[in-house]
Structure formats: C-alpha cells, structure tokens
Amino acid sequence: MTDVTRVASIQELYDRHAAFVYGLALSMLGDASAAEELTQDVFLQCWQRWDQYDPARGSVRTFLATVTRSRAIDRIRRRGRRVPEVAWEEFADTGPDPDSLEDAVDDRLTMQRVRAALGALPAPQRQALIMCYFGGMSAREIAQRLGDPLGTVKTRIRLGLMRLREVLDSRGEGG
Amino acid sequence: MDDLEHPSLEDLTLYALEADEPAEREALTLHLAECRSCRLALAGLLPAVDALAEAVPATPPPPELRDRVLAASLGEAQTRPRPPRRLFGFVGWAVALVAVAALVAVQVHMRQRLDASQAVLRRQRTVVQVLADPQSVSMLVQNRQLMAHAWARVFLRGSQAVMIMHRVPAAPPGQTYDIWWMRGNTAYRAGQWSGRKANDMLVLSSPWHGFTAVGVTLESPADSLPSGPIVMMGERPTAG
Ligand SMILES: [Zn+2]
C-alpha cells in the first residue's frame, strides 16, 4: 500500500468511527482533552496495523472499542483514579421498557438496544457492570468501594453480563 | 497439568471483563492455553462485553482533531517495519547496532520502566482476544529431551501472536530466551523473554508470513542476531 492510499484509508476510518471512539473515550475519562488525545492515539495505532487488519476476523468497530477501552484503562490506572466518570444511574433512564427492546430488534447492535438491556437489569448488577467496564475497576475494587462482599459483586457482574447476553441474543428469534 | 479443573463461569466472566486480579488471571490463562472448551466458553462471553461499548452516545470530536490525526499519520509513514534478518549473517550490522544501542540505552531503559505496567495490561488484553478466538491456530513448542516438563504454546490469529510458557526453566544467569519466526536459514525476531518466571505469557511480533517454525534460542542480551543454541522448537501446522 502506498502512503497516499494509507492516508485515504485512515481518513475513511476516522470519518466513519471518530464519534464512536471519542464518545467511548469521553465517557471513560470524563475529560475532553484527554479523550481527544486518546482518540488520536487509537487511530494512529490502528492505522499502523491497518495493512494487517483482517475484516473477516471481527468488525472494525469492535476492534476500535477494544483498543479504546484498553488505552483508557491504562490512563485511568496510571493516574491512580479508579472512580468511573460514567454516572451509572443514567442508564436507568431508558428503563425496562419491553417495547423499546422489541423496536430495537435489528441486525445491528444499536445504542438503544444495549441501553435498554442495561436499563432492564436490577440496579446493583447494572452498577457493577458499568463500574467494571467503563470505570476499569476490578471486582475487588468495586467491592471495596461499595462496601459489599467480593462474592456478591462477582455474582452481580456474572448475572448482569449473562442477562445482557440473553437479551442481545434474543434478536431475530421471534417473541 | 494433571487434572483439568475448569474455572467457574464467574471466573471466566471476570476474565472477559478484565475485572480479576493478576494471580487469578495468570492461572486462568494457563488453563485456557490447554483447554479448548473453556476457550470456547470465553469466546461466547466476549460479544456481550463488546456490546457494552455501544451503550454510550457517539460524540463528534472537535474538527481540529481530524487534521491533527491525519497530519500525525503522515509523520508516521517514515517508521515502517524493518525487513527480516538473515541468521548468522550481517555481523557488521550487529556491531553498528550495538554502538547505537549503547547511545540510546539509558533513555530506553527509563521509558521501559514507565511503560512496564501498561505493557502488562495490553499484553493481557491481546492474550484474551487471541485465546478466545476459535479460529486461532495453536502450535506446541517444546523439547522433550532438554526440558521434559516444559511446554510453550503459540497461538496465531491474523497479525496477532501470543506465547504461553509453562514450567520453562529459568535462563542461565546473564542470558535470555529469544523467540524467532524461522524458515530455513532466515529468522525474524518474534520476541524476547527474560525466563525468570516459570509460567508466563508474552505477545509476539506479527508473524512473518513465510515462517515454517518457531524456535527458541538462549542468548546473551547483547546479541542482536540468533547465535545461541535452539532449546525449543515447534512446527507451523499446515493450513486447513
Ligand atoms: Zn477448562
């Protein structure tokens, strides 16, 4: 690949996915300039490996989300702040509304569908899952922070992820 | 591993979300290297983990960022990967490399210390992705005569490669293990391993497309070309 086509491909990659990457970075870091820096890092890293990227092995979006989350967690742990910026209560706003779940039945994972699935979880499960995914906290750290037993927190995370998986898998299986 | 006691679904869930502790993670990684059914169970959890990223609203970044990213990507164009090295050749290069290495040694060392904890985190994530992919190809790397109880497994997934070490004896003082993508007389460095832990995992460089085997040699740190004995070896499985 020549440099010209490389630049064209990063441009396309950026235009298509920058808002997704930046949105995720912003919710994890809670700081616009840190999120910008991270977005830049993510695209440069992906671009460096672009010629080795195999679309058959997973969506670009998943790949970008994984890189973004790892880099955000690196930053969170490096600066020693382990409090997630994401207000987990926000996810309750969508509420356990069965209609929104049905409407969202679609081939693509949409924000509404994932948020509805999260919103339908019991609050402690949703909280544990969000502290873990967006806050980059381990089960032990969550237990310490909430003052709950470690075993309880682990169970909440497992039940939360299982339920999320069920809801997301149920698409296209009638109802 | 004598008996396979499988981890609970709870353990696998924490592993998938990277919410477990380092010691638990290490034990589970070794188990995964040997247990296909747990690798498949892990693969079944990852889509739900990935879906969580979709829960936050997309937010367009400031327009200036686009220019910065594109400009930086042009600057990066100069630093493309280096070509493979020939085994036992180019000694002149090695001398020159050692001289350059001495100049930059102090800086590199300091940076490595700062980056160490992040490198561990990234390594773990790559290992999860590669182990959990049912499409990954597994290679056994060992030497029954030299190290009866030791094994290593290399997992290949597209441009990603990870190596899991199990009960590999410590390297002799002053030496390290070097890992190579090999074909005939040509070798491409895949990674370096301190050999101070019996069980470990490392992320290898992207597999050189032409390799037919993975070799492990014992080297003195100053060696920039493979010159030590091959102590472990594994053949690349034929495609299929
Ligand atoms: Zn197992």
**Claim to verify: residue A76 and residue A129 sit in the same structural domain:** no
Domain identity same for A78 and A116: no
- Shared-domain flag, residues A79 and A138: no
Lowest-pLDDT choice from A147-156, B39-48, B147-156: B147-156
Residues A77 and A110 in one domain: no
pLDDT over 60 (residue A78): yes
Among partner residues B122, B158, B206, which is closest to A70 by beta-carbon distance?
B122
Query: Which of A8-12, B81-85, B143-147 is most confident?
Result: B143-147
> What CATH number corresponds to the domain at position A4?
1.10.1740.10
* Smallest CA–CA distance from A68 into chain B, residue: B53
Do residue A67 and residue A89 come from a single domain? Answer: no
pLDDT beyond 80 at A154: yes
The total domain count for chain A is 2
Which amino acid, A142? I
pLDDT of amino acid B230: 83
Residue-level pLDDT at B31: 93
What DSSP assignment string belongs to A89-142? GGGGGG-S-HHHHHHT-SSS--HHHHHHHHHTS-HHHHHHHHHHHTT---HHHH
Which residue, among B39, B36, B234, B239, has the nearest Cα to B153 in the 3D structure?
B234
Residue B74 to residue A40, Cβ atoms within 8 A: no
Q: Do B122 and A133 touch (CB under 8 A)?
A: no
Check residues A15 and B96 and name the one with the higher pLDDT: A15
Question: What pLDDT score does A2 carry?
Answer: 55
Q: How far is CA B214 from the centre of its chain?
A: 13
Domain that holds residue A89: 85-175
pLDDT-based confidence at residue A80 (cuts at 50, 70, 90)? low
Residues B28 and A148: beta-carbon distance below 8 Å: no
Which CATH number covers residue A96?
Answer: 1.10.10.10
Dmax over CA atoms of chain B, in Å, equals 62
Which of A58, A84, A110 is the endpoint of a domain?
A: A84
CB-based contact B51 A109, cutoff 8 Å = yes
Residue A97 phi, psi (nearest 5):
-100, 110
Tell me the pTM: 0.71
Residues 132-171 of A with CB under 8 A from B: 132-134, 137-140, 142, 154-155, 157-158, 161-162, 164-165, 168
> Would you call A73 and B121 a contact, using CB atoms and an 8 Å cutoff?
yes
pLDDT at B2 over 70: no
Closest CA to B13 of A116, A82, A71, A155: A155
Using CB atoms and an 8 Å cut-off, which of residues 4-43 of chain B contact chain A? Answer: 9-10, 13-14, 16-21
Query: What token pair was written down for A65?
Result: 């989300």
Query: ipTM more than 0.90?
Result: no
Ligand 1 centroid vs B31 CA: distance in angstroms? Answer: 6
Q: What percent of chain B has pLDDT over 70?
A: 75
Q: How confident is the model at residue B100 (pLDDT cuts 50, 70, 90)?
A: very low
Residue B230's SS3 state is: strand
CA A1, CA A14: separation in Å to the nearest integer? Answer: 18
Same domain? For A51 and A106 the reply is no
**Residue ranges near ligand 1 (ion) with Cβ within 5 Å:** B 6, 35, 38
Of A18, A49, A84, the one marking the end of a domain is A84
- Helix, strand, coil percent values for chain B (each to nearest 5): 40, 25, 35
- Statement to judge: residues A89 and A24 lie in one domain: no
Are A41 and A98 members of one domain?
no
Q: Look-up: residue for tokens 């085997």?
A: B213
Q: Which residue of A has its CA nearest to B128?
A: A66
pLDDT digits (tens, 9 = 90+) for B158-167: 888 999 888 8
Instruction: Answer whether B163's CB lies under 8 Å from B191's CB.
Output: yes
A108 and A165 inside one domain: yes
Element holding B151 (H helix, E strand):
strand B151-157
Domains and CATH numbers, chain B: 137-235 (2.60.40)
Same domain membership, residue A10 and residue A53: yes
pLDDT attached to residue A53: 55
Under the banding of pLDDT at 50, 70 and 90, the label for residue A128 is very high
pLDDT at B104: 35
Residues A77 and A42 in one domain: yes
Which of these three, A35, A58, A84, is where a domain ends?
A84
> A15-29, B29-43, B190-204 — which is least confidently predicted?
B190-204
Residue B57 pLDDT > 60: yes
Q: What is the mean pLDDT of residues A84-113?
A: 50
Q: Are residues A91 and A71 in the same domain?
A: no
Distance CA A160, CA A126 (A): 6
Q: Encode burial over A109-143: b for 16+ CB neighbours within 10 A, e otherwise.
A: bebbbbbbbbbbbeebbbbbbbbbbbbbbbbbbbb
